[in-house]
Amino acid sequence: MISRRGFIRGVSGGVLATGALARSGASLGAWEGGQVIAPTLSIAHLKPSGPLDEAYWWRVRSQFNILDGMTFMNNGTEGPVPRVVLEANERVFREIAENPSNNYRREEVDEVRALVAGFMGAEAGEIALTRSTTEGMNIFTHGLDLKAGDEVVYCNHEHGGGIGCITTLAKRIGIKPVVIEIPSPPQSVDQIVGLYEKAITPRTRFIMVSHMTYVTGLITPIKELADLAHRRGLLISVDGAHPLGMMDLDMKAMNVDHYAAAGQKWLMCGTGTGVCYIRRDIQDRVWPLMGPPGDPKDGAKKYEAFGQRDVPSVLGMTAAVEMQKAIGKPNIEARVRALSTRFRTGLKAIPGVKMWTSEDPLFAAGLTLFSVRDIPMANVQQAILSRDRIYIRTMTTGNLNACRAATHIYNLPSEVDHLLDSIRHVSENASRYMTTAAQ
């Protein structure tokens, strides 16, 4: 049910959207449930033709079907699919339903691969189109010829999708995980690199690291860690679940051996989509996770032998990538950083709030982790959702008692400010929320 507060906010948001869309030159759609249902714009219409002001970002926001009155700030788990992607998926699904004889669409899938490769600064032969970041992490780790006693170095804030294959191989064949602790927040790039270097031994085979940790949103110095790994004769595997669609990536510039990314998060392609980059000159060292060994001339396509794929979702990636290219990768990263900086600056002014994410832009972008006094995180999350219809997530890694908020291109400064007001209310009324998430 939409609360009175949510309905009023939806109406006022619709009024703002009306003015912004009118200024952008787009015709308005129907009024439904207290909000303007804007027309679907072509990707070309989303290309900036003037200042990147709030009228422009309202035009971008209008292309998402987010529920009226809801502020969604958990893009780090799954982002809402923009209408242009949704419609592309529906079109392909319908076409295959009408004519299943062309169900593989291999040439079109290869076109997606080439598009994604260019978007990431890679070659098409280095890109496998997967179903998730986790699958990409498993392709690399299970594909190596590891043996008992081999060591893998990673930090205490890695995601289970990357850790799981390592712990399985530890139990199955006896490899040894070496876990280091990264401060939250860290002091410098040298501090981070030094912690990994100290953990390397003659038995180390590769470093596994998140480009952006899902816990605190720490941006890890990937290029420096790749240089360290290669100096020591090691490989580096990167869990890149978050940066694709948020940051301006270039695989060659980072000099990584492997990079697994998600489609459903910041690229907003929907579930069942992912990307696995494996550098061309190490592919002979990485066996496919499933299927035959593969032909070297096929490049990273040999890692896609998982049977029938969800073709509509894969082909829908084209619309997602083209939309981001139209907006501009640097513009997207700048917008994400501006909103998250606004949020972190506001958090600093709220008594009783602890911020776990760095304020240094070198180490942070679209994810922010915070705690509110000693209030149980589930109570903080539920209080914010119940009172103000703002959705964020809790964070349970280790002994953390914290919540995480994400900011992306469909979010607005007013939503950031609204979340800050909600957090301030919870902090000022802490006794009410220690044992309950009462409104």
Where residue 26 falls among pLDDT bands split at 50, 70, 90? Answer: very low
* Beta-ladder partners of 31: 36
Mean per-residue pLDDT, 87-111:
95
pLDDT at 4 over 90: no
Given 324, 355, 383, the domain boundary residue is 324
pLDDT at 68 over 90: no
Spell out the SS3 assignment of the chain: CCCHHHHHHHHHHHHHHHHHHHHHCCCCCCEECCEECCCCCCHHHHCCCCCCCHHHHHHHHCCECCCCCCEECCCCCCCCCEHHHHHHHHHHHHHHHHCHHHCCCHHHHHHHHHHHHHHHCCCHHHEEEECCHHHHHHHHHHHCCCCCCCEEEEECCCCHHHHHHHHHHHHHCCCEEEEECCCCCCCCHHHHHHHHHHHCCCCEEEEEEECECCCCCCECCHHHHHHHHHHCCCEEEEEECCCECCECCCHHHHCCCEEEEECCCCCCCCCCCEEEEECHHHHHHCCCCCCCCCCHHHHHHHHHCCCCCCHHHHHHHHHHHHHHHHHCHHHHHHHHHHHHHHHHHHHHCCCCEEECCCCCCCCCCCEEEEEECCCCHHHHHHHHHHHHCEECEEECCCCCCEEEEECCCCCCHHHHHHHHHHHHHHHHCHHHHCCCCCC
Same domain, 120 and 51: no
Same domain, 133 and 231: yes
How distant, in Å, are the alpha carbons of 141, 192, 249, 397 from that of 152? 10, 16, 25, 20
Give CA angle at 237 (231, 243), nearest 5°. 115
Mean per-residue pLDDT, 49-74:
93
414 domain-assigned: no
Expressed in angstroms, the distance from the first to the final Cα of the chain is 15
Q: In the prediction, which pLDDT does 37 show? A: 64
Structure token pair of residue 73: 């700030």
Q: Which residue bears the tokens 């609360």?
A: 3
200 domain-assigned: yes
Q: In the prediction, which pLDDT does 1 show? A: 29
Mean per-residue pLDDT, 13-25:
41
269 domain-assigned: yes
Structure token pair of residue 380: 């903080």
Same domain, 252 and 220: yes
What CATH number is given to the structural domain containing 91?
3.40.640.10
Mean per-residue pLDDT, 384-389:
96
Same domain, 11 and 104: no
337 domain-assigned: no
Given 44, 69, 94, the domain boundary residue is 69
Same domain, 132 and 255: yes
Same domain, 226 and 125: yes
Structure token pair of residue 176: 């040894």
Same domain, 235 and 193: yes
C-beta atoms surrounding 85 within 10 Å = 26
Same domain, 123 and 214: yes
Same domain, 50 and 93: no
What gap in Å lies between CA 90 and CA 263, rounded to an integer?
17
Given 324, 341, 361, the domain boundary residue is 324
Contact by Cβ (8 Å): 370, 38: no
Nearest to 402 by CA among 425, 423, 428, 432: 423
Mean per-residue pLDDT, 99-106:
93
How many independent structural domains does the chain possess?
2
Q: Please state which of the ranges 7-11, 25-29, 121-125, 366-370 shows the lowest mean pLDDT.
A: 7-11
16 domain-assigned: yes
Nearest to 245 by CA among 270, 267, 220, 269: 267
395 domain-assigned: no
Checking DSSP bridges between strand 235-240 and strand 274-278, what pairing results, if any? unpaired
Question: Exposed (0-12), middle (13-18) or buried (19+): which is 294, by Cβ within 10 Å?
Answer: middle
Where residue 125 falls among pLDDT bands split at 50, 70, 90? Answer: very high
Q: In the prediction, which pLDDT does 40 show? A: 84
Same domain, 224 and 275: yes
Mean per-residue pLDDT, 101-107:
93
* Dihedrals phi, psi of 262, to nearest 5 degrees: -100, 150
Q: In the prediction, which pLDDT does 437 show? A: 66
Same domain, 153 and 293: yes
384 domain-assigned: no
Nearest to 31 by CA among 50, 43, 17, 51: 17
377 domain-assigned: no
| Mean pLDDT taken over the chain | 91
Same domain, 1 and 29: yes
Domain limits at 24?
1-69
- To 10 degrees, what angle do helices 377-388 and 413-428 make? 120
Checking DSSP bridges between strand 353-355 and strand 367-372, what pairing results, if any? antiparallel
pLDDT at 34 over 70: no
